[in-house]
Copies of this chain bind each other. A is one copy, B any other.
């Protein structure tokens, strides 16, 4: 059995312990004589699995009782539609455009009402988080939408916009559970599991109860109603049972590790290892403004595209996979989610130093 250091932006690395547990339970979950994926979602055993997952997530994040936790399908992209369908009472919302996915979310919302782009960093290829001072929040806005961590560009919000009391909606797909979250500051948080939490096919939604409406447009598909999903505790139809089971294992892994403060400390340490090296290198450099740097997705380039290509190829041969940057940015991207061990990042930096030295850099 070979395991490599997997820097994929998502679907991404999962904790080895979680995979090993899933492996050992694959044919027989705790003496039931069946795999979790063979279980009725209405069985007591499965109910316990999803109840534990929710309870552990609530404990891990500190989710107040006036917020619902939903495990849904369709990824963040289906949330791009569900958010405006369910929240646009006045058919108006403010969006801050900090990257590709934030833009996609805004474009989708335009189907359901007026979308006001109140800030954007598209002028410099999304290499920074827009200035949040002097934002003009629309009077009739039903919510303000941000994308917390921009996977493609490697940027992250370090302060939140003042929304003038409007609910803040945050797409946290690539930063969820990487640091403590003060849930009270948000109206809705959503996150596709496949980056930092579990396998693709589950999206987690945390929504303040008073934002769940019943008077929705008649065309709203029943599966896309937060009220229906909340009333049925994510089981209006068969949920992605196996994915939720794995998310639950990741929550337990994080609790055992000491919770979100503990993992945040580790994540900061991992990111610092790479960024410090990049800042001292004569060959590699980070591609975004320092104050906007993500601790989950580290984007960088070398002095030439040829060298980028050579680096990616040699890195792969040495057991560091999925370092190619997104096609819209080029260069490299090291996604260092919770499950990436510190040793993986140290090994990568060591490899970069050797590569730099061997290819004429000063290191």
Q: Give residues of chain A (29-54) contacting chain B, Cβ–Cβ below 8 Å.
A: 31-35, 37-41, 43
Contact check, A74 vs B74: say whether CB atoms are below 8 A apart. Answer: yes
Q: Count this chain's copies in the assembly.
A: 2
Give complex CA distance A283, B224 in Å: 45
Q: Give residues of chain A (3-20) contacting chain B, Cβ–Cβ below 8 Å.
A: 3-4, 6, 8-14, 16, 19-20
Task: Considering the complex, give the chain B residue whose CB is closest to the CB of A75.
Answer: B237
The answer to whether the Cβ of A218 comes within 8 Å of any Cβ in the partner chain is yes
Contact check, B222 vs A38: say whether CB atoms are below 8 A apart. Answer: no
Give complex CA distance A3, B33 in Å: 4
Task: Considering the complex, give the chain B residue whose CB is closest to the CB of A240.
Answer: B201
How many residues of chain A are within 8 Å of chain B by beta carbon? Answer: 71
Interface string of A220-248 (1 = CB under 8 A from B): 11111000000000001111111100100
The answer to whether the Cβ of A80 comes within 8 Å of any Cβ in the partner chain is yes
CB contact under 8 A between A3 and B28, given known A40-B322, A238-B200: yes
CB contact under 8 A between A26 and B27, given known A199-B242, A223-B77, A223-B81: no
Task: Considering the complex, give the chain B residue whose CB is closest to the CB of A319.
Answer: B33
A111-B218, A201-B240 known; 8 new pairs, CB 8 Å cut-off, are A2-B31, A3-B34, A4-B34, A8-B39, A10-B238, A13-B38, A16-B27, A43-B322
The answer to whether the Cβ of A22 comes within 8 Å of any Cβ in the partner chain is yes
- CB of A239 to closest CB in B, whole Å: 7
Give complex CA distance A38, B75 in Å: 16
Contact check, A12 vs B38: say whether CB atoms are below 8 A apart. Answer: yes
The answer to whether the Cβ of A64 comes within 8 Å of any Cβ in the partner chain is no
Give complex CA distance A76, B14 in Å: 29
CB contact under 8 A between A200 and B3, given known A11-B41, A321-B34: no
Q: Which of B35, B39, B111, B221 contacts A19 (CB 8 A)?
A: B35
- CB of A240 to closest CB in B, whole Å: 3
